[in-house]
Structure 1
Amino acid sequence: MVIKNIYCVGRNYMQHAKELNNAVPTSPFLFAKPTHALVEGQGQTISMPQDQGDVHYEVEFVVHISEKFEPDMKAEELIDKIAIGIDFTLREVQDELKEKGLPWLLAKGFPNSAVLSQWLPFEGLGASANFDFTLEKNGIEVQRGNIKEMIFDIPTIIEFSAKHFGLDEGDIIYTGTPSGVGKAGKGDRFVLKWKEEKVGELLIGD
């Protein structure tokens, strides 16, 4: 499956914005990752930057767009599958970029920074809101989220993305992370879960 564009929503959960002392946005705040950042978590070992400060994990609900957006199209028409992802972030690099008013690409776009679980059937937004997505680090749950807790819901994110950037078949959207982000380091094992079942796994190596 070919992924075209990777859009990511920042600060889309109230408690996450607060834990990083960020202002809560009044409209969707998006950034992008290159496709070279993508990696599917199939239990393998992946590498992270070792010399650019702390790497933080951020678990997210990810949607896959099945066709070109047209005005008045509903989210249920556009989304054909979902995944649980990790947006890995070079936190100190990001803080420096924010201070300078520069784009976040250096902090967000490195190889292996966009992790995906296996793709899962999309059962509709209402059904998806009945379940939490979670991230475990070394056997301990560190993040738990639910799409009903988003500041900007998925239809709003889709409309905003389509209006400002375009949205077409093969695009994916990381829809934001809940609170509980933290450091990821060598030897850490991460397990992604949906409906309390493991759907992805990886180990941080060199």
Structure 2
Amino acid sequence: MIEDGGNSLSESNLLVYSNIRNIYCVGRNYASFAVEMGNKLSENPIVFVKPTHSLEPMNGNVVSLSGKHGEVNCEAELVLHIGKDYESGIQVNELVDKVTIGIDFTYRNVLNEVKQKGQPWLPAKGFRSSCTLGDFRAITGEKDLQHDFKLKKNGETLQVGNVKQMMFTLQTLIEFIAENYGLGKGDLIYTGTPEGIGKLQNNDTLEVLWGEESLGSCHIALLS
């Protein structure tokens, strides 16, 4: 393990962190989540970005978030690591070299407010420590992506998702992001969250799993 700014990271994860460029996130990619939140289904992927300063590992560490903005939600997502620069026609198994499960934290009240005003989602989605990453796993093809992923809060399962349930395939997401915004080596894609998102309380413990394998956990501190 290597110490990096007070957080202990595996050597492979430290290499990933040191080369991250853009963080793309996909909204409403599971119909079940859109229905749960009372949102309409979208004809095209909804994509937003997060700053690299929003990243946190999940290695038993404490993730500090503000409790001043009302409800804080946790949304587990399959995260793709892009291993090479995008070229037209490239396939998922050629482009993606690693995956993990991450959490997209959301200030729900803030998000509702900025959406009503037609303003960017950054205050609700891009704050410091607003997304976490579990331990990455190498993949050799799309067949490696068929596992269920899970989010547990205090030992209880909140969410279960699978790429087969996504509205937009991974190939569609990759092509859409690349054609509209650019996509290159070191970029991350948070691919969307299924139903069952959790409302956080101070001292909650979160754990993400890939199949039955735990990829990481963290403890939540909601600061007043």
- Judge same fold: TM > 0.5, yes or no: yes
2:143 and 2:169 map into 1 onto residues whose CA distance is 12
Residue 194 of structure 1: how far off its partner (Å): 0.5
State the aligned residue count: 205
Residue 53 of structure 1: how far off its partner (Å): 1.0
1:182 and 1:70 map into 2 onto residues whose CA distance is 37
Within the candidate set 74, 99, 104, 2:121 is matched to: 104
What is the DSSP-based 3-state SS (H/G/I as helix, E as strand, rest coil) of the residue aligned with 2:60?
strand
Within the candidate set 169, 172, 175, 2:191 is matched to: 175
TM-score in terms of structure 1 length: 0.98
Pairs within 5 Å for 1:99-138: 99-129=116-146, 131-138=147-154
Residue 132 of structure 1: how far off its partner (Å): 0.3
Note the aligned Cα RMSD (angstroms). Answer: 0.8
Percentage identity across paired residues of the two chains: 45
1:67 and 1:46 map into 2 onto residues whose CA distance is 30
Residue 63 of structure 1: how far off its partner (Å): 0.3
Gapped runs of 5+ residues in structure 2?
1-15
**Runs ≥4 residues deviating over 6 A:** none
What is the DSSP-based 3-state SS (H/G/I as helix, E as strand, rest coil) of the residue aligned with 2:69?
coil
1:33 and 1:91 map into 2 onto residues whose CA distance is 16
Higher relative contact order (CA 8 A, sep 6+): 1
Report the AA paired with residue 90 of structure 1.
Y
TM-score in terms of structure 2 length: 0.90
Gapped runs of 5+ residues in structure 1?
none
Within the candidate set 97, 101, 109, 1:80 is matched to: 97
2:159 and 2:175 map into 1 onto residues whose CA distance is 27
Within the candidate set 138, 158, 179, 1:163 is matched to: 179
2:93 and 2:140 map into 1 onto residues whose CA distance is 9
Within the candidate set 16, 20, 27, 2:37 is matched to: 20
What residue is the counterpart of 2:24 in the other structure? 7
1:7 and 1:89 map into 2 onto residues whose CA distance is 15
> Over residues 128-170 of structure 1, what are the superposed CA-to-partner deviations in whole Å (9 max), with x where a residue is unaligned?
11x1000000010000000110000100000000000000000
What residue is the counterpart of 1:151 in the other structure? 167
What is the DSSP-based 3-state SS (H/G/I as helix, E as strand, rest coil) of the residue aligned with 1:3?
coil
Report the AA paired with residue 178 of structure 1.
P
The reply on whether 1:62 has 2:62 as its aligned counterpart is no
